[in-house]
A and B are shown apart, each in its own frame.
Chain A
Amino acid sequence: MPTFFERRQLVTPGDLLAEGDYVAGENTYKEDSRVYATRIGLVDYEDKKVSVVALRAFYIPRVGDTVIGTVVEVGFSGWTVDINSPYLALLKASDVLSRPFKPQKNDLTEVLDVGDLVVAKIVSYDRTHNPQLSVNEPGLGKITRGQIVRVTPTKIPRVIGKKGSMISMIKQETECHIILGHNGVILITGKSIEDEELAMMAIHKIEEESHTTGLTDRISQLIKKEKEKGR
């Protein structure tokens, strides 16, 4: 039962990764007893599971994910939200207003208009229906201030770090409040623009060097250095 690559080696679609009694993980597929890659990325062998960490991918909604989206359309009973995915998400008016909603009385554009950004949670999604959003939780809803950073959705786990080590470090160092959308959109709100810019720079740096080791320490040092300069 051979494997054909080293761990963390770069593979392209169609590369034969393993043969025999293996389980096909993310971004791979199994045909007969052979496991192939479906995306360009880095291979990972874990016991019997073969997977590829994709370098290029798009966001596919998952129930429970927090996402940050842009309102693109206001309808009769809700909004259509672009969540940086192949599928547009729906946000119901009754969900946002949290009281009985009467189309004759309420003007939806007063609550959310085209171009507004919202933090929301995905409450339902499957192959046959577009994702549905909810803002019925503390911390969710319309974004009124802060900065937006967009990264490749596959890099979000790296921004979070092991058990949130990376993100909590950035939060602590920059004193910013950061909301990570699983769809690759990140909202940063800080006390001053300088703080926000510091956090933005750190996140861009993570995106560029996401595949290197010891990144958390280096980012931490970088922020400290920049802070010194600012003073």
Chain B
Amino acid sequence: MSQKTEKLIDKKGLRLDGRKSDELRPIKIEVGALSNADGSAYIEQGKNKILAAVYGPRELHPKHMALPDRMVLRCRYHMAPFSVQERKSPAPSRREIELSKVIREAVEPAIFVEYYPRTAIDVFVEVLQADGSTRCTSITAASLALADAGIPMRDLVVACSAGKIEDMIVLDLMDIEDKVGSADVPVAFMPNLGVITLLQMDGILTHEEFEKAVNLAIEGCKKIYTLQKEALRAKYVSVKEVEE
């Protein structure tokens, strides 16, 4: 940070963008944004703009990678060169490779991977504009794209982050809060089953603070989950209306 940190929380307890500590950024979700993909989703969470596309299940190439008893889930998280202030090299960075793995492992428990052995599902996550907690937003979008592709799933996966800024536990961190704040806890969650599929922590929190952050993130996940379901339904809403 160039100059000494600006205040992240004002006297009224509001954050830089006017949110309360337990408030999410505004979210807009669209399912089926791409017509070429088998399934797709576009999500805007604050200034985050992320596109997810799913292809498959399909024959796996190279064939020796196929597994005899389950399908292979492949995931690519990629940030567009224009997604951040300073141009990002389009080549996959160490961070992107790691996030690809993180996203894959967060959505895999939701998929009935053993149903279609010897096949592969490809998930492409493209970050068009990044503003903190992109891994969470990506997971939310990826699971929607999977559901849109007709892949059998136990539940939709939702993800949301919580963190600590200026000794306060807050929900859904944005970029500056992540960089200046002291801790970040991304959580991915399957609300109907009550299962956490991703839990990370970057920074230092006490035991109590950590618990508070996780619970806050789960509350956030549940809120996003309703939006997620709504978006998935919206694509098929015409179907619902004409029912007898």
Q: Is A76 an interface residue (CB 8 A)?
A: no
Q: Is the CB of B112 within 8 A of A16?
A: no
Interface segment out of the listed B55-63, B171-179, B214-222? B55-63
Q: Is A160 an interface residue (CB 8 A)?
A: no
Indicate the member of A10, A13, A38 with the most B CB atoms within 10 Å: A13
Interface segment out of the listed A56-64, A161-169, A173-181, A221-229? A56-64
Residues B12-36 near A (CB distance < 8 A)? none
Given A58-B57, A127-B117, A128-B117, A10 and B233 contact (CB-CB distance below 8 Å): yes
Name B's interface SS.
loop
Q: Is the CB of B236 within 8 A of A39?
A: no
Interface segment out of the listed B79-87, B134-142, B153-161, B180-188? B153-161
Q: Is the CB of A27 within 8 A of B152?
A: yes
**A54, B193: Cα distance in complex, Å:** 21
Interface segment out of the listed B42-50, B93-101, B143-151, B198-206? B143-151
Residues A70-115 near B (CB distance < 8 A)? 86-88
Question: Could you give, for residues 56-80 of chain B, a 1 whenever the CB lies within 8 Å of some chain A CB and a 0 otherwise?
Answer: 1111000000001000000000000
**A152, B112: Cα distance in complex, Å:** 21
Q: Is the CB of B152 within 8 A of A12?
A: no
Q: Is the CB of B193 within 8 A of A86?
A: no
Question: Could you give, for residues 212-244 of chain B, a 1 whenever the CB lies within 8 Å of some chain A CB and a 0 otherwise?
Answer: 000000000000000001001100110110111
Question: Could you give, for residues 24-37 of chain A, a 1 whenever the CB lies within 8 Å of some chain B CB and a 0 otherwise?
Answer: 00010101000010
Q: Is the CB of A55 within 8 A of B236?
A: yes
**A31, B190: Cα distance in complex, Å:** 14
**A29, B227: Cα distance in complex, Å:** 24
Q: How large is the interface on B (under 10, 10 to 19, 20 to 34, 35 or more residues)?
A: 35 or more
Q: Is the CB of B242 within 8 A of A16?
A: no
Q: Is the CB of B154 within 8 A of A29?
A: yes
CB within 8 A of B56: which of A56, A86, A88?
A: A86
Given A13-B152, A14-B156, A39-B150, A212 and B242 contact (CB-CB distance below 8 Å): yes
Beyond known contacts A8-B243, A60-B116: 16 more, CB 8 A cutoff: A9-B240, A9-B243, A13-B152, A13-B153, A13-B156, A14-B153, A14-B192, A27-B152, A36-B154, A36-B192, A38-B152, A39-B150, A39-B151, A40-B147, A40-B148, A40-B150
Closest 4 CB pairs of A and B: A14-B155, A56-B150, A38-B152, A86-B57
Chain B contacts to A: CB under 8 angstroms: 38-39, 56-59, 68, 110, 112, 116-119, 147-156, 190-193, 229, 232-233, 236-237, 239-240, 242-244
Chain A contacts to B: CB under 8 angstroms: 8-10, 12-16, 27, 29, 31, 36, 38-40, 42, 54-58, 60, 86-88, 127-128, 209, 211-213
A-B residue pairs in contact (CB < 8 Å), sample of 8: A13-B152, A14-B156, A29-B154, A38-B152, A39-B150, A56-B39, A86-B116, A127-B117
